[in-house]
Amino acid sequence: MTPVVNASPEELRATARRLEPPLLAGRWRVDEVEALFALPFMDLLHRAHGVHREHFDPNEIQLSTLLSVKTGGCAEDCGYCSQSAHFDTEVKASKLMALDEVVDAAQAARAQGATRFCMGAAWRSPKARDMGRIVEMVREVKALGMETCMTLGMLDAGQAAQLRDAGLDYYNHNLDTAPDYYGQVITTRSYQERLDTLDNVRAAGIHVCSGGIVGMGETRTHRAGLIAELANLDPYPESVPINNLVPVAGTPLADSAPLDPFEFVRTIAVARITMPRTRVRLSAGRENMDDALQALCFMAGANSIFYGDRLLTTPNPTSGHDRALLRRLDLRVAGMDEADTGR
């Protein structure tokens, strides 16, 4: 990938003005993505919202619910993660959940309007002895009529094929940050290993869910580098979760300074412009966003949220609050009619 060039804000804006929609089908250089970030805020939102309207109903939001089916004790040293065995946090390791508990949680999520049920296990990669139970979870949740998603760490080609045969719709494996900042956050898994897992998922015919985390001390150039990596995947992910760091006591990133809220909105907008047909999802950190900020994110192109009171181990706005916010913004829930949403 071409490295970012030294350029003034005026030069970056001039570059961004030359990036018209036909380029969306090609590859993005980091300096081109950074030029989008540098646009005047209102111009950036206008462009992102226009791209959003070309490909989606701007008044529709997709709801996903995330359940931790195996919590804590992970061998990775991701500096943001409460579930890493390397750090002393309040999260205690647990065993894989029973199948009936997972199905009950999926049924409750469906009743609340979620159309996709995501299951996460804190592993470096799943072991052979666990795959049978994981496959059962996918089959049973799929039988409820919901889209299924898993995040289990690294996958080899055989494991990806097993999940595909069970009916898995999406596999989540985030790139987290730019390649040149990655080593500041994680040392136990390489960037290439993350890309290899995404290749295995794609080759198996499973949709890719991959995004990242902002607010980890990275620069705007690093944020641009993350978006460029995602946008240049062939094809780019069908689902892109953007997480705003939730600092966890005991982790190396516990004292990270919060990201400026408008910079977060810029990140959403740039993701929408560079990946026009993806579902851009507001993920971790939404608990700390007020309603007006979330509305700006929807305007910028976010059209999916994680829905439910918790995201793995971090808090999330309550379902009742989310439903009230969607009503206030006249946003419909994808896959539900107005009677179902209580409007």
Residue 334: the pLDDT is 83
Beta strands in 93-185 (DSSP E): 116-121, 147-151, 170-172
- Cα separations (Å) of 123 from 71, 76, 77, 304? 9, 8, 11, 26
- Cα separations (Å) of 101 from 17, 107, 132, 252, 318? 52, 10, 16, 33, 21
Catalytic residues: 74, 78, 81, 118, 149, 209, 281
Of 64, 189, 73, 72, the residue nearest 119 (C-alpha): 64
Of 175, 171, 129, the residue nearest 150 (C-alpha): 171
In this structure, what token pair is assigned to residue 132? Answer: 């049978």
3-state secondary structure of 180: coil
Contacting residues for 199 by C-beta, under 8 A, at least 6 apart: none
Residue 125: the pLDDT is 86
In this structure, what token pair is assigned to residue 34? Answer: 């950074």
Residue 254: the pLDDT is 86
Residue 306: the pLDDT is 81
Q: In Å, how far from its chain's centre is CA 70?
A: 19
**Which residues does the chain have with pLDDT short of 70?**
1-26, 73, 84-86, 88, 91, 308-317, 336-343
Q: How far apart are CA 213 and CA 175, in angstroms?
A: 9
3-state secondary structure of 120: strand
Return the C-alpha torsion angle 92, 95, 100, 106, nearest 10. 50
CA atoms within 13 A on the CB side of 68: 21
Residue 341: the pLDDT is 40
pTM for the full predicted model? 0.86
CA atoms within 13 A on the CB side of 211: 25
Contacting residues for 260 by C-beta, under 8 A, at least 6 apart: none
